[in-house]
Amino acid sequence: MRAEIKKIEEMMEAAEYVTDPAIAMSVHLAMTLKKPLLIEGHAGVGKTEVAKVMAKMLETNLIRLQCYEGLDAAQALYEWNYPKQLLHIKLEESTSHSLTEKEAAIFSPPFLIKRPLLQAISETGTPPVLLIDEIDRADEEFEAFLLEVLSEFQVTIPEIGTIKATQPPYVILTSNRIRELSDALRRRCLYLWIDFPGFEKEVRIVTRKVPGVNERLAREISRFMETVRTIRLAKVPGVAETLDWAQALTSLHADHLDEELVAETLGCVVKDADDVKRLKRELATGGIARFVAAQS
Amino acid sequence: MAVARDLTRAMLGFGATLRASGLPVTTGAIMDAVRALEVVDLMDRVQVYLALRTVLVSRMEEQPAFDRCFEAFWKFQADDGQGLDGLVAAVQPRGSEEEPPTGGMEGAQQKQAQVALEDWDEGEAQEGEPLEVPGQSDREVLMEHDFSTFPVEQLDEVARLTVQIAKRLARRVSRRRKPTRRGGVVDLRRSMRANLTRGEIIELRRRSRRRRKVRLVLLCDVSGSMDLYSRFLLQFLYALQNVFGRVETFTFATRLTRVSELLRGPSYKSALRRLRWATGREAPGSATRFGTSTGNGVTSWTGGPSCWSSRMGGTRGSPRCWPRRCCRSSDGRGA
C-alpha cells in the first residue's frame, strides 16, 4: 500500500510539482476516503497548485470556484438563462403547445446555466477535481450552504428535481486564514497545512521550475528567502516570489547574488513599500553575507 | 478480523487521548481514521503519523498537541518487542533515538520503525506530563486580556489585528441592493419599467447587494485615568484612521481635540510626534469633563459624518470591548 503513496509522489513530481510525504499522503487519503481536503498555508506556497496537479495526475477536469465577498448560491450553483427563456417564449407564441408544455420547455436543462458546483456534481464519467479557492473570502452564509452541498453532493432544483452526483468529485478547499472557518466545515474535511518549504525543498523547486538557473544561484536564492522570512515583514514572500525572482535573475544572466543585484531586483521579492525599505536597511547593515550565509 | 477490531479499539483510545487534550475529535473522525489506516502501510510510523494527522487535526494550532499525544500513545516498543495481540509484529527499527515528529516531518522518512500498538492505560497516561493544550482558544484569552497589560512587542500584533478588523468592517455588504450592469439578480420592477414602451421584455435590469459604507467618529478618552490604555488605544485609532476614508477622531479630557489629520500618515511614530505636539498643551492626567467636551463635539460636528459611532474606552475601568457601533446612522436606523 505504501507503493500507492510513492506512486502519487512520483506522479506529482512528473506533473512538475515538488512534493513531500505530507502532501502526498493528504492527496492519497482525499482520493481513497473521498473526503474534501482543506489546505491552509501562507500565500504563495502552492495550495492551489495541489488541485491543478491532482487534476493533471488523474487526467480529469479541474472545476474552479473562486470565492469572494458577496458570492452567493446562484453564482456558485446554477442560474436560469433568462434572455434565452424570453426568446423561447417569443418563438413559441405562434405554436399550439399548451401552457404546461411551454413551461416545461423553458425550465429544462438547456436553459440552465451550470455554475461550478452544479457542474462538478452533474459531470458524468471520471469524477472531476473541484477546487474551491480561498473559501475564507466568502461569507459565512455561503460556507453554511457549502456544507450541505459537500456532505450530500446533491442539488435540488425546484423545476427539474434533484441532481445527485454519480461519482462525487474530489474536492480541494484552500484558505489563507483571512477569516476563521467554522468548525462544522473543518470537521467535514481532511486537513493539510503547507508551510514555507525548507531550504532543500526550495532549492529543488527553483531548479525544477526555472530552467537555466545554476545550482549556486538556486542555493543562494533559497538561503536568502529563508532569511528574509525570519524578518518581520508586512507580507512575507512565498514560493511564488522565489520563482519570480529566480526567473528575473536568470534572465539577467546572473550566476550569484551580490548586493547591487539584490537591491535592483528587490521588487520581485517584497511587494510593499515599507518592506522594501526595511529590507534595504537590513542589507545595508548586515550585508549580503548575512542573508546567504549558511545558517547553523 | 482481530486486527481490524483491535485497530478500532486502539483508535477509540487514541481519540479519547486527543479529546482529553482538548482536540475536538468526533466519532466520525475516528471512523475516518480507521479507514485511513487501512489504506496506509501500518509498518511505517511516518505514514501512520501523517495519515492520522491529516484526518484528526483540523487546524494548524492543534498540531503540537496532536504530536505530543501521538508520541505518548503510539510509543516505540522496539526494544522489548511488545505489541498488542493480533497487531503488527516487530520489524527491525532503523531509527536510533526517537524524536517527536516535527511539523514539516523533514527527513522523517528515514525514521522507519515498527508500529507497535501499546495498550493504552489511563493511569500511565496521567502520570506523564500534562499536555499543554489551552482550554480556551487564543481569541477567548485575548478577550479577557486587560489592554493595560499589553506588552510592547504585542503592539505590532494589535496593529495587524486592528487593520484586519477594519478591513472586514469596510467590506461588509448591505442587505439592500443597487442596480448593476452585470451580475446579481434580475430586478423585476426596473425591468418592467424599462420595457414598458416596447411591449416585450427585451432588456433585463439587474441589481446586486451594495457595499455598506462605514463612517465612524471615534472618541478617545486621554485623561489621567486612561493613561495605562492610551498606548493601545492610540495604536487602535491610528490603524482605523488609515484604513477608512471617512473617520473622524477626537481625543478628549478637559476639551475635545480633533486629531484625524494628525493620525493620517504612513508612520505611526511620526503620527505620535504630531499628536504629542498638538495635545501637549493639555494638562496631563487632568479630570475628564464629559459633558463639556463631548457636548462641544455634538454641536460642532453633527454637520460632518452623520453616524455617531464608536466610543473607545469607558468612563471607569478597563475598556475591554471593541468599539460599539451605536447611536444613529444616516438612514435613521441603528448602524
The confidence band for B289, taking pLDDT boundaries of 50, 70 and 90, is low
Contact A47, A174 (CB under 8 A): yes
Chain A contact set for B29 (CB, 8 A): 187
* Interface predicted TM-score of the whole assembly (ipTM), two decimals: 0.85
Using CA atoms, how far apart are residues B268 and B264, in angstroms rounded to an integer?
9
pLDDT score recorded for residue A244: 92
**Domain count of chain A?**
3
Last residue of a domain, one of A155, A170, A194: A194
- For the record, the C-alpha cell of B325 comes out as 457601533
User: What mean pLDDT do residues A150-179 have?
Assistant: 89
- Asked if residue A133 and residue A105 are part of one domain, the reply reads no
The confidence band for B144, taking pLDDT boundaries of 50, 70 and 90, is: low
Length of chain B: 335
Lowest mean pLDDT among A26-40, A45-59, A219-233, B105-119: B105-119
Query: Which has more confidence, B82 or A264?
Result: A264
CB distance A174 to A167 below 8 Å: no
Q: Are residues A174 and A253 in the same domain?
A: no
Report how many Cβ contacts below 8 Å link chain A to chain B: 95
* CA torsion angle B8 B9 B15 B21 (round to 10): -160
Please report the pLDDT score of residue A35 as a whole number: 92
pLDDT one-digit tens code per residue, A92-114: 888 888 888 888 899 999 999 99
Closest CB to A195: pick one of B39, B104, B208: B104
Q: What letter represents residue B287's amino acid?
A: A
Q: Nearest CA of chain B to the CA of A134: how many Å?
A: 16
- From chain B, pick out residues whose CB is under 8 angstroms from the CB of A186: 58-59
Q: What is the pLDDT of residues A78-93, one digit of tens each?
A: 988 888 998 898 888 8
The pLDDT, as a whole number, for residue B300 is 52
Where is average pLDDT lowest: A59-63, A243-247, B72-76, B90-94? B90-94
- Nearest to B88, CA basis, from B32, B28, B41, B140: B41
Q: What is the pLDDT of residue B3?
A: 56
Indicate if A222 and A184 belong to the same structural domain. no
Alpha-carbon distance of A29 to A54, in angstroms, equals 13
Q: How far apart are the first and last CA of chain B?
A: 63
Of B39, B40, B58, the CB nearest to A187: B58
Task: Tell me: do A187 and A283 sit in the same domain.
Answer: no
If one compares B102 and B192, the residue with the highest pLDDT of the two is B192
Min Cα separation A127/chain B (Å): 20
Name the residue with higher pLDDT: B261 or B280. B261
The CATH number of the domain where A138 resides is what? Answer: 3.40.50.300
Residues A16 and A161 grouped into a single domain? yes
Q: Which residues contact A145 (CB under 8 A, 6 or more apart)?
A: A73, A76
- Shared domain check, A203 and A264: yes
What letter represents residue A293's amino acid? A
Same domain (yes/no): A269, A257:
yes
Mean pLDDT of B24-32: 91
| A263: Cα separation from own chain's centroid | 31
d(CA A210, CA A220): 14
Contacts of A20 in chain B (CB under 8 A): 104-105
The answer to whether the CB atoms of A86 and B105 lie below 8 A apart is no
Length of chain A: 296
CB nearest to B106's CB, from A82, A90, A198: A198
CB atoms within 10 A of CB B18: 26
Q: Do A180 and A223 belong together in one domain? A: no
Q: Which of B23, B45, B58, B154 to mutate to test the interface with A (most CBs of A within 10 A)?
A: B58
Say whether both A284 and A139 belong to one domain: no
Residue matched to cell numbers 451605536: B326
Question: Is the pLDDT assigned to residue A193 strictly greater than 90?
Answer: yes
Q: Report chain B residues whose CB lies below 8 A from the CB of A83.
A: 204
Mutate to test the interface with A, among B46, B49, B50, B156 (most CBs of A within 10 A): B50
- Mean pLDDT within A132-136: 93
Residue B122: is its pLDDT beyond 70? Answer: no
In a shared domain, residues A95 and A215: no
Q: Where are the beta strands (DSSP E) in chain A?
A: 37-41, 62-66, 78-80, 112-114, 129-133, 154-157, 161-164, 170-175, 190-194
DSSP 8-state assignment for residue B273: H
Cβ <8 Å between A187 and B171: no
Q: What is the DSSP letter of B148?
A: G
Q: What is the mean pLDDT of residues B201-213?
A: 80
Identify the bridge partners of residue A210 per DSSP, sorted by sequence position. none
**Residues of chain B found within 8 Å of residue A90, distances taken between Cβ atoms:** 200
Task: Give the residue extent of every domain in chain B.
Answer: 2-135, 147-172+213-311, 176-211
Domain end point (choices A194, A211, A232): A194
DSSP per position, A60-76: --EEEEE--TT--HHHH
Subunit contact B104:A183, Cβ cutoff 8 A: no
Show residues of chain A in contact with B209, CB under 8 Å. Answer: 70
Instruction: For chain A, give the mean pLDDT.
Output: 88
How would residue B287 be classed by pLDDT, with cut points 50, 70 and 90? low
Contact A32 B57 (CB under 8 A): no
B238, B269 Cβ separation under 8 angstroms? no
- Report whether B281 contacts B289 (CB < 8 A): no
CB contact under 8 Å between A2 and B40, yes or no, is yes
Least confident of B15-29, B91-105, B145-159: B91-105
Both A56 and A97 in one domain: the answer is: no
- Phi-psi sector, A60: left (phi>0), alpha (psi -120 to 50), beta: beta
What average pLDDT does the segment A230-251 reach?
Answer: 89
**Residues in chain A whose Cβ is within 8 Å of chain B:** 1-2, 4-5, 20-22, 25-26, 28-29, 32-33, 35, 38, 40, 69-70, 74-75, 82-83, 86, 90, 139, 178-179, 183, 186-187, 189-193, 195, 198, 232, 274
Cβ burial B220-230 (10 Å sphere, 16+ → b, else e): bbbbebbeebb
Residue B234: phi and psi, rounded to 5, are -65, -40
3-state secondary structure of A114: strand
- The whole domain housing A82 covers 78-114
Q: Which of A171, A194, A217 is the last residue of a domain?
A: A194
Q: If we measure between CA atoms, which residue out of A100, B34, B150 comes closest to residue A92?
A: A100
Comparing C-alpha atoms, which of A168, A74, A172, A80 is closest to residue A124? A168
Helix (H, G, I), strand (E, B) or coil at B211: strand
pLDDT for A16 equals 85
pLDDT bracket for residue A273 (50, 70, 90): confident
Distances in Å between the alpha carbon of A20 and those of A13, B23, B70, B81, B117?
10, 26, 21, 30, 26
Residues A137 and A47 in one domain: yes
